[in-house]
Amino acid sequence: MFYRHWALKESFIKAIGTGLGFDLQRAEFHISPNQMREGQVYRQTQMYLDNEGEDWTFEESLLDKDHHVAVALGKPEISTSEEDGGTVCEAPPLSFTLLSFSDLVSKATPLLEEDPAYWERFQSKKEAPLRQNRYHQTDLFRKAQTSY
């Protein structure tokens, strides 16, 4: 359930474009249904923003027993159509398409010519930079003072 809530919140902040600067405690989800089945797409979960109901639509699906996906579709777009003489709510697609890595890169083309020296330069880098927090900087300052 934690990952389900996390996926819903993440989908919302991605949809509104604010990123992690948004206070995630402002968004609350009333999950429905509690149990999902693989291959089904659910749209019943309701979002509350600052304790007020929002009419956002979220699609949720269980890809397998370990992977949940949520997509924030936003507020339903309402359009009028002359054909039916009334208001029509556009329905989102009914299911997700699961793509493999091979599917994703099958038509990919390189942006630049291959540079054989790139891999050599990459491999020669340190694994991770040292984090310079204020304690580390203070320690360096003390060492610099004592060496004079």
DSSP 148: -
pLDDT tens, position by position, 46-98 = 999 998 888 899 999 888 888 889 999 988 765 444 444 433 334 445 566 77
Task: Check residue 24 and give its pLDDT.
Answer: 87
Domains of the chain by range and CATH?
Answer: 2-105 (3.90.470.20), 116-146 (no CATH)
Mean pLDDT of 38-47: 89
Other CB atoms within 10 A of residue 6 CB: 13
Amino acid of residue 128: A
CA dist 11 and 43 (Å) reads 14
Residue 136 is predicted with a pLDDT of 55
Query: Is 102's pLDDT higher than 90?
Result: yes
What 3-state DSSP class applies to 13? helix
| Higher per-residue confidence, 145 vs 148 | 145
Query: What's the pLDDT score for residue 110?
Result: 87
For the cut 60, the answer to whether the pLDDT of residue 43 exceeds it is yes
Report the C-alpha dihedral over residues 49, 52, 58, 61, rounded to 10 degrees: 90
Residue 4: DSSP 8-state: H
Token pair belonging to 34: 């509690």
